Each structure stands twice: as structure tokens, then as C-alpha cells.
Amino acid sequence: MRRGKAKFARNERNRRARRAPRPSSLSSAELKKRANALAAHADMLRDPKLTAAHAARDNDVTIRDLWQYIPKAFKKDASGRIRAVADRYVRRMEVPGPDGPVVLKIRGSKARNEVARFRNDVFDFLGGNRKALDKWKGVKIQGHDLLTDPRIIRLLGDQDNLPEHFGSEQVIPYSGGGR
């Protein structure tokens, strides 16, 4: 019986060790490291041949930072190589709103990829492709309506009022609340 309790305690410690810190509890420097770790994760998802060491080095973080800030975004395969997997971490991302940039909380790497595809289509539209925004009409990403009015997008582009970090995670302090 005593042996079972020790095993339970060890499993509980391991479970807690793989829990990421809440973004609201992080300092500005730690939020920057977290954003860089998420960027390394995104690079690894885009290029499956990219090693964790290269992705971390390219984004000014260590492999230890990857495990510390976003542990469930990585798995080790049978050979011991670290692989990126889809995650459910919250990211704060800017998208265009009718009056300028709007910061949204987006959960997961798949939704982040959708925001990035929308960003690419907005810039494609501004570059002259009139049909680039058609597939986004009426589309919501996690309950957030996307701005697809061509007149407003063109006006925001002309005024240079599109989000500065459109489609990338923001390194701003988190606060409670929904949006």
C-alpha cells in the first residue's frame, strides 16, 4: 500500500511539472520568452524537419524555455527527437477592426493559423486581388467576426492603420476578462 502512495505522489509531481504558467502571472520579459517559444513552435509546425534546437536558437530561447512555457506543445518521438504538435494555448493576436487594430484572445495553434491565412488574404487583397477576401465573408474565428468589408480594409490600408503585429502573438500583459 505504501508503494502505491509513493507512485501516486511521483505521478502528481510530474503532472504539475508539465503545466505551463498562466500568462497573467508572467513578467514582461517572461511574456517575451513565451512569445518566442510559441514562434519556435510555429516554425517547427511549418517545417517538420526543423529541429527544436534550431527553432529555439532562431527565436532566442532555449529548449528548456520551450518545455517551461509551452510543455504540451511538444512530444518526444521514439528516437528521442522533440516534435511540435497542435496545442490549445491562448495567444493574444491583433486583427483589423472597423476603427483600427483589435486584440483578440485566440486559443490554439489551428486558430492562429487561420488568423495568419486571413492576414495573408488581406494583404493579397490590398495588393490587387479583388477576390482574396471572398472566402472570409461571414467567417468567425472562435466567435470573433472577421472584418471583410473591402472599403474599410482599403481605407485602413491607405491610412496605414492595419495592426502592426497583424497575425502574430502580442507581448502585452494579460488581464482577466473575455476579449
pLDDT at res. 12:
53
Quick one: average pLDDT of 50-68? Answer: 95
178 pLDDT exceeds 50?
Answer: no
**Domain spans in the chain, listed from the N-terminal domain onward:** 26-86, 90-158
pLDDT at res. 109:
86
pLDDT at res. 10:
56
pLDDT at res. 89:
86
Quick one: average pLDDT of 153-178? Answer: 69
pLDDT at res. 171:
55
Q: What is the pLDDT of residues 82-137, one digit of tens each?
A: 999 998 888 888 888 888 788 888 898 889 889 889 988 998 999 999 999 999 99
- Three-state secondary structure readout of the chain: CHHHHHHHHHHHHHHHHCCCCCHHHCCHHHHHHHHHHHHHHHHHHHCCCCCHHHHHHHCCCCHHHHHHHCHHHEEECCCCCEEECCCCCEEEEEEEECCEEEEEEEECHHHHHHHHHHHHHHHHHHCCCCCCCHHHCCCEECCEECCCCHHHHHHHHHCCCCCCCECCECCCCCCCCCC
pLDDT at res. 53:
96
165 pLDDT exceeds 70?
Answer: no
* List of residues 6+ apart from 126 with CB closer than 8 A: 153, 154, 157
Q: What is the pLDDT of residues 2-45, one digit of tens each?
A: 566 665 555 555 555 578 888 888 888 998 999 899 889 989 99
pLDDT at res. 174:
54
pLDDT band at residue 169 under the 50/70/90 scheme: low
68 pLDDT exceeds 90?
Answer: yes
168 pLDDT exceeds 70?
Answer: no
Quick one: average pLDDT of 146-168? Answer: 83
Top mean-pLDDT range of 13-17, 49-53, 165-169: 49-53
